[in-house]
Amino acid sequence: MFFGKIIAIEDVLIREEVLNTPFACDLKKCKGACCTMDSEFGAPVNEEEIEQLRELLPVVKDYISQEHWDEIQQKGFFEKKSDELLLRSVNNRACVFVYYEGDVAKCSIEKAYFDGKIKFRKPISCHLFPIRIAKFGGDILRYEKFSECAPALDNGKKQNTTIAEFCKDSLIRLYGEKWYSKLKEKSGR
């Protein structure tokens, strides 16, 4: 149960842990675990993202393995569970959009984006990780803790970077520069 402070910026509530927890991904240590966690539920997506991904599939296809492409061809790239739209996982593990660089799992959507082939970076829930959005009359931002992310906590301490700072680009993408500036003011960093 959460007992920390909650701050409000416009109509968004942010748990204090998002502002104070050190965090900076360390892919060499976690191996991209956020994209390959054992779970029946994949990353949340919305209708707009599904439409964008549908259009981008021919480009993104070039980055993923045949096994993952076969999964997409047979079952699609998303599913609906408990009234929530989610990216599909292969064997309840790796996201269908995962590709590997050596032993590190990475996002094929983001790879195509950085290669300049598409303009959509990746679903916002993936971009925001380890922040998750709960809905309760508006957005509530919280830190989703996973043991696989322990190296990111250590790396965040070394780099003196918090979750909010690590997720700056995704928070700006979702709420805008002005909103993020207010968040920085509230955090005192």
121-141 confidence digits (pLDDT tens):
999 999 999 999 988 878 999
- Per-residue pLDDT, averaged over 61-68, amounts to 94
From 91, 121, 151, give the residue that closes a domain: 121
At position 29, the amino acid (one-letter code) is K
From 76, 100, 121, give the residue that closes a domain: 121
Give the span between the Cα atoms of 130 and 126, in whole angstroms. 8
* Pair (49, 65) in one structural domain: yes
* Pair (149, 187) in one structural domain: yes
- Per-residue pLDDT, averaged over 52-77, amounts to 95
Q: Which residue has the tokens 């959460």?
A: 2
Question: Does the pLDDT of residue 1 top 80, yes or no?
Answer: no
| Percent of the chain whose predicted confidence (pLDDT) is above 90 | 83
* Pair (116, 183) in one structural domain: no
* Pair (54, 1) in one structural domain: no
Three-state DSSP state, 64:
coil
Q: Given this model, what pLDDT does residue 4 score?
A: 72
Domain containing 177 equals: 1-23+130-189
* Pair (37, 16) in one structural domain: no
pTM beyond 0.95, yes or no: no
Q: Given this model, what pLDDT does residue 187 score?
A: 79
* Pair (93, 142) in one structural domain: no
Q: Given this model, what pLDDT does residue 45 score?
A: 95
* Pair (143, 77) in one structural domain: no
Instruction: At 30, list the tokens.
Output: 């976690």
Kindly report, residue by residue over 86-131, the tens digit of the pLDDT: 999 998 889 999 999 999 999 999 999 999 999 999 999 999 999 9
* Pair (42, 104) in one structural domain: yes
Pairing label, strands 12-15, 139-143: parallel
Burial class of residue 148 (count of CB atoms within 10 Å of its CB; 0-12, 13-18, 19+):
middle
* Pair (12, 38) in one structural domain: no
Question: Does the pLDDT of residue 2 top 70, yes or no?
Answer: no
Q: Given this model, what pLDDT does residue 73 score?
A: 95
From 70, 102, 121, give the residue that closes a domain: 121
* Pair (92, 114) in one structural domain: yes
Give the span between the Cα atoms of 131 and 166, in whole angstroms. 10
- Per-residue pLDDT, averaged over 55-72, amounts to 95
What lies within 8 Å, CB to CB, of 55 at 6+ separation is none
